[in-house]
């Protein structure tokens, strides 16, 4: 499942408490992800899902759900 993989990547990348990561968790407000964390997360997602996330797409990632939906759409 995409959500479980994204959750695992977030925990590994930014050392976030796994319990805080829900589909509707705000990357910035709930998980404390700043711009540097977002870039690291983006690179980890690209590597794990074998895709490219451009800057415009990255800006749309406000919640964990946004990431999951993007990845599901890419992997169609």
Catalytic residues: 34
E strand intervals along the chain: none
Alpha-carbon Rg of the chain, whole angstroms?
A: 11
48 contact partners, CB below 8 Å, separation of at least 6: 5, 9
């Amino acid at each position: 499942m995409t959500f479980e993989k994204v959750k695992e990547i977030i925990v590994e990348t930014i050392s976030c408490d796994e319990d805080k990561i829900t589909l509707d968790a705000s990357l910035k407000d709930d998980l404390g992800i700043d711009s540097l964390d977002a870039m690291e997360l983006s690179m980890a997602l690209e590597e794990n899902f074998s895709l490219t996330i451009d800057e415009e797409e990255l800006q749309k990632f406000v919640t964990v759900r946004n990431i999951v939906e993007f990845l599901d759409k890419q992997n169609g």
